[in-house]
């Protein structure tokens, strides 16, 4: 009997599938389109690691299943190859990123083919290819033309080690996401996309899109909508007034001081001359601080010498500057209510400022507070609003202020505009020309792409300029509008822009005159099934939604949400740590391809635990899955050698076939691959013990196995004379009638303890079941001397005799 030789079989089918193009698809002619998308990876030099393999296998299984269900499954793949990652690595290796990336991509493609994915390679994209980034630039221009992109001076996060600006999301705990250096602040001219104009819609649509709840929650928090009051207090003896936002208008009578962020423009204008030196000193110091310092150091601040007046009660309150107030949120200024806000309370303690209670804490008897009371309650010391409960008072106060025009109900978001500019080399050039006369001018669309020049010296300059700024042949140009000499924008785009639209590109890769074809887009999008890691919950996924929404509003897309269904897979970790190059714990699939084969690796990774949970990778147990596949192999060899004509499938065997079909089908639909594989194992264990095998069973088994172990399933399918290819053969249909059990095991409990298990006919009525239960000797023994006061009957499941406690 031939042994299972995974190397030979996998090589054989890899070649044949590729030659026949069975995973390619007629994107124009498809009748039942199903767009199955996996998050494209950054093609690192190390190649695919086990975490990628885990993620992609789960997507591929779903795609294979849907294809067998009769859908025209389009499963593309690409490379998110721009960015600091490659650039830093290229610098270290002293290779040009262009060379490096080309090699890496070839390597990735090879590994994905080895893994046995059903990818339509003719639609591959590479974000660093001018044919791709031409359209990234086109998207930039559309946003620019519609007023959604603008350049403005902004305080930015600066990583002194990567020598670049980072988006807020790329700053983790005040440290650079990539190199962990501490972040400092700078003020630079930067391009922004106004994602904040879409905050409300981005939030609202979360109510109906079919996404993993985790991701929706993360996005809701990230958008951070809050409602409250916006108003301003005039500054005494000046024309200025300080506008602020608060979610607690009910505490407005408790304001005892105000605070401006150090960067606030009013600081300079209202500071009194005697305080100027101290204030300037403080502001300079605050700007120098790193994000970490700002967070961990104790409350600091300085008095400006100015006073503001609370128009509600005429209170004169001092105006301070303190770095616990952020310029990036709300108006960059606050009304401080120390009695009812912890930060304000701490600050008031620190600088001996008054604390005035205006919301009575429960059981409060008018004494001093030992800490801020931030809960709701009944108002005191608030004039006409005394005695009203917080919520009603807040509404009443807003209403009053709106009536006299001095304040208004306001919604504020935590979400900030998307900072696009990067002062680096390895990215999509921003397609803008700066003209002395005309200002920033869009590069005409017919002149795209603005090609990223090949530059030997691509090292970051350490200034606030991109290396492209010193490439005269690139930077010097003429203004598309007035024809005078002008300079190109030399910053490049954040890589999140590259990945914010790639799913729009895949179906249309054959067109080089448009980013995405209208007809194809209509046919294939929104994406039917998108699976990726939760680490992209708020970055990639939110930006993609924004770009899609904006393109929708411009009339380019009919839908406003790009991903109909999104599921987050779990993260595979290694010995408790995230798998990453920097941790030096990369495990590649290659050794497993060699030792056990792709089929075993795929099935093992999916079997080890829940796909949506992830877990700690260890190859303990991979032998078990390998043994399973070997048993399947041997089983089919035995079937082929079988001489006797097969009889009809016995009823018990038929039942198992249909129960397994049902179980595997349901589980794949819910991405519960681990239990689907367990069901296949149970099935094969049963087949193992049959004296003879029946063709229906063997065929069905192979069909169910196909998504998990595509190579072996194909090989065995051929061996039993199945028509090529198993992967285009229909998924088996469970017959509910046949799947139904005739006899069921019913647990018999006395007072909730199982005392016996009886076999009775499925669907027995209560009377019959109880009678059978009482016949059991064990049950009788336990019931002896007891009085049954109640019986519970759960059909086909259990019987519970409840006895009187006194016996």
Partner RNA sequence: GCCGGGGUGGCGAAACGGUAGACGCGGCGGACUUAAAAUCCGCUGUCCCGUCAGGGACGUGUGGGUUCGACUCCCACCCCCGGCACCA
- Does position 681 interact with RNA (CB under 7 A)? The reply is yes
- Shortest Cβ distance from residue 213 to RNA (Å)? 6
Rounded Cα distance between 31 and 70, Å, is 10
The contact mask relative to RNA for 755-784 (x = CB under 7 A, - = no) is: x-x--------------------x--xx--
Q: Which is nearer to RNA, 500 or 509 (by Cβ)?
A: 500
- In this structure, how many other beta carbons lie within 10 angstroms of the beta carbon of residue 327? 17
Among 451, 753, 763, 780, binds RNA (CB under 7 A): 753
The dihedrals phi and psi of 296, each to the nearest 5 degrees, come to: -95, -20
- Shortest Cβ distance from residue 535 to RNA (Å)? 6
483: left (phi over 0), alpha (psi -120 to 50) or beta: left
Question: Nearest-CA neighbor of 398 among 254, 226, 256, 228?
Answer: 228
Question: Nearest-CA neighbor of 63 among 727, 730, 507?
Answer: 727
Q: Which one of the spans 112-120, 308-316, 421-429, 753-761 is the region binding RNA (CB under 7 A)?
A: 753-761
- Shortest Cβ distance from residue 231 to RNA (Å)? 11
Question: Using an 8 Å Cβ cutoff, are 86 and 426 in contact?
Answer: yes
- H-type alpha helices, 642-672: 651-669
SS in 3 state form for 336-372? ECHHHCHHHHHHHHHHCCCCCCCEECCCCCCCCCCCC
Rounded Cα distance between 386 and 399, Å, is 16
Among 677, 698, 702, 706, binds RNA (CB under 7 A): 677
Q: Considering only residues 96 through 135, tell me which ones interact with RNA, judged by CB under 7 A.
A: none
Q: Which is nearer to RNA, 278 or 747 (by Cβ)?
A: 747
Q: Which one of the spans 38-46, 218-226, 355-363, 691-699 is the region binding RNA (CB under 7 A)?
A: 218-226
- Shortest Cβ distance from residue 173 to RNA (Å)? 6
Q: Considering only residues 281 through 310, tell me which ones interact with RNA, judged by CB under 7 A.
A: 294-295, 297, 299
Q: Considering only residues 419 through 478, tell me which ones interact with RNA, judged by CB under 7 A.
A: none
Among 206, 287, 586, 678, binds RNA (CB under 7 A): 678
Q: Which is nearer to RNA, 565 or 690 (by Cβ)?
A: 690
Question: Nearest-CA neighbor of 253 among 353, 338, 350, 175?
Answer: 338
Rounded Cα distance between 733 and 525, Å, is 28
Q: Which is nearer to RNA, 18 or 766 (by Cβ)?
A: 766
Among 343, 459, 465, 638, binds RNA (CB under 7 A): 343
Exposed (0-12), middle (13-18) or buried (19+): which is 98, by Cβ within 10 Å? middle
- Does position 91 interact with RNA (CB under 7 A)? The reply is no
Among 217, 436, 771, 780, binds RNA (CB under 7 A): 217
Among 645, 689, 721, 805, binds RNA (CB under 7 A): 689
Q: Considering only residues 483 through 542, tell me which ones interact with RNA, judged by CB under 7 A.
A: 534-535, 537-538
**Run of H or E including 590:** helix 590-595
Q: Which is nearer to RNA, 151 or 567 (by Cβ)?
A: 567
- Shortest Cβ distance from residue 574 to RNA (Å)? 11
Among 484, 581, 583, 627, binds RNA (CB under 7 A): 627
Token couple for 32: 């039942």
The dihedrals phi and psi of 89, each to the nearest 5 degrees, come to: -65, -40
Q: Are strands 492-493 and 614-616 parallel, antiparallel or unpaired?
A: unpaired
Cα within 13 Å of Cα(698), Cβ side:
26
Among 211, 628, 639, 731, binds RNA (CB under 7 A): 628
- Does position 155 interact with RNA (CB under 7 A)? The reply is no
Among 688, 728, 733, 780, binds RNA (CB under 7 A): 688
- Does position 371 interact with RNA (CB under 7 A)? The reply is no
**Run of H or E including 474:** helix 472-475
The contact mask relative to RNA for 256-285 (x = CB under 7 A, - = no) is: -----x------------------------
Q: Considering only residues 561 through 600, tell me which ones interact with RNA, judged by CB under 7 A.
A: 571, 576, 578
Measure the CA angle with vertex 138, ends 136 and 139; round to 5°: 65
**Run of H or E including 335:** strand 333-336
Token couple for 184: 């400092």
Q: Considering only residues 20 through 39, tell me which ones interact with RNA, judged by CB under 7 A.
A: none
Among 11, 179, 214, 554, binds RNA (CB under 7 A): 214
Q: Which one of the spans 401-409, 467-475, 477-485, 682-690 is the region binding RNA (CB under 7 A)?
A: 682-690
Question: Using an 8 Å Cβ cutoff, are 671 and 567 in contact?
Answer: yes
- Shortest Cβ distance from residue 545 to RNA (Å)? 17
Rounded Cα distance between 99 and 454, Å, is 11
DSSP code of 726? G
Q: Which is nearer to RNA, 92 or 689 (by Cβ)?
A: 689
Token couple for 315: 């209170």
């Amino acid at each position: 009997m031939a042994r299972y030789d995974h190397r030979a079989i996998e090589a054989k089918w890899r070649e044949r599938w590729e030659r026949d193009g069975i995973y390619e698809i007629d994107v124009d002619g498809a009748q039942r389109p199903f767009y199955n998308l996996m998050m494209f990876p950054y093609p690192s030099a190390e190649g695919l690691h086990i975490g990628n393999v885990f993620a992609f296998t789960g997507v591929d299984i779903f795609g294979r299943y849907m294809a067998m269900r009769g859908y025209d499954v389009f499963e593309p793949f690409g490379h998110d190859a721009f960015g600091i990652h490659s650039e830093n690595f290229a610098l270290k290796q002293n290779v040009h990123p262009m060379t490096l990336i080309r090699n890496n991509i070839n390597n990735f493609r090879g590994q994905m083919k080895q893994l046995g994915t059903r990818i339509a390679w003719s639609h591959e994209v590479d974000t660093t290819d001018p044919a791709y980034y031409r359209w990234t630039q086109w998207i930039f221009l559309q946003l620019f033309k519609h007023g959604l992109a603008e350049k403005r001076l902004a305080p930015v996060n600066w990583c002194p080690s990567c020598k670049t600006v980072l988006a807020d999301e790329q700053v983790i705990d005040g440290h650079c996401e990539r190199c962990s250096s501490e972040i400092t602040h700078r003020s630079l001219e930067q391009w922004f996309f106004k994602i904040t104009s879409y905050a409300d819609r981005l939030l609202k649509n979360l109510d109906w899109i079919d996404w993993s709840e985790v991701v929706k929650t993360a996005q809701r928090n990230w958008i951070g909508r809050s409602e409250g009051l916006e108003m301003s207090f005039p500054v005494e003896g000046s024309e200025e007034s300080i506008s602020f936002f608060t979610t607690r208008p009910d505490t407005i009578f408790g304001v005892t001081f105000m605070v401006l962020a150090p960067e606030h423009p009013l600081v300079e204008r209202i500071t009194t001359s005697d305080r100027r030196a101290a204030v300037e000193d403080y502001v300079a110091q605050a700007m120098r601080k790193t994000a970490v310092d700002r967070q961990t150091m104790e409350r600091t601040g300085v008095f400006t010498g100015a006073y503001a007046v609370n128009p509600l009660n005429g209170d004169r309150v001092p105006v301070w500057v303190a770095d616990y107030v952020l310029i990036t949120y709300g108006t960059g200024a606050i009304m401080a209510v120390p009695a009812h806000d912890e930060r304000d309370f701490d600050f008031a303690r620190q600088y001996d400022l008054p604390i005035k209670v205006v919301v009575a804490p429960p059981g409060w008897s008018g004494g001093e507070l030992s800490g801020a009371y931030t809960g709701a309650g009944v108002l005191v010391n608030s004039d006409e609003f005394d005695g009203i409960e917080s919520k009603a008072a807040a509404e009443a106060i807003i209403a009053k202020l709106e009536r006299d025009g001095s304040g208004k109900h306001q919604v504020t978001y935590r979400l900030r505009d998307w900072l696009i500019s990067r002062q680096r080399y390895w990215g999509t050039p921003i397609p803008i020309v700066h003209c002395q006369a005309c200002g920033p001018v869009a590069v005409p669309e017919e002149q795209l792409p603005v090609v990223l020049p090949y530059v030997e010296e691509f090292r970051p300059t350490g200034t606030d300029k991109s290396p492209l700024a010193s490439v005269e042949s690139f930077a010097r140009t003429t203004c598309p509008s007035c024809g005078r000499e002008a300079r190109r924008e030399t910053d490049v785009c954040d890589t999140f822009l590259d990945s914010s639209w790639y799913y729009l590109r895949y179906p249309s890769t054959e067109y080089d005159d448009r980013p995405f074809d209208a007809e194809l887009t209509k046919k294939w999008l929104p994406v039917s099934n998108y699976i990726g890691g939760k680490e992209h919950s708020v970055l990639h996924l939110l930006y993609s939604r924004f770009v899609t929404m904006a393109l929708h509003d411009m009339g380019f897309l009919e839908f406003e949400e790009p991903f109909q269904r999104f599921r987050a897979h779990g993260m595979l970790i290694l010995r408790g740590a995230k798998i990453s190059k920097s941790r030096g714990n990369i495990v590649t699939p290659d050794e497993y391809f060699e030792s056990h084969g792709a089929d075993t690796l795929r099935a093992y990774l999916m079997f080890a635990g829940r796909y949506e949970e992830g877990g700690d990778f260890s190859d303990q147990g991979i032998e078990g899955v390998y043994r399973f596949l070997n048993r399947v192999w041997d089983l089919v060899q035995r079937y082929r050698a079988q001489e006797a004509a097969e009889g009809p499938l016995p009823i018990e065997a038929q039942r198992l076939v249909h129960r397994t079909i049902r179980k595997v089908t349901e589980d794949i639909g819910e991405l519960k691959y681990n239990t689907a594989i367990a069901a296949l194992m149970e099935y094969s264990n049963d087949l193992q013990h049959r004296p003879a095998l029946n063709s229906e069973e063997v065929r069905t088994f192979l069909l169910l196995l196909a998504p998990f172990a595509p190579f072996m399933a194909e090989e065995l399918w051929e061996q039993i004379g199945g028509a090529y290819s198993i992967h285009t053969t229909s998924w088996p249909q469970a017959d509910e009638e046949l799947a139904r059990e005739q006899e069921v095991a019913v647990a018999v409990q006395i007072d909730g303890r199982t005392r016996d298990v009886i076999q009775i006919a499925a669907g027995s009525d209560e009377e019959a079941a109880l009678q059978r239960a009482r016949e059991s000797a064990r049950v009788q023994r336990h019931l002896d001397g007891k009085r049954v006061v109640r019986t519970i009957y759960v059909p086909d499941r259990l019987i519970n005799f409840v006895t009187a406690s006194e016996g």
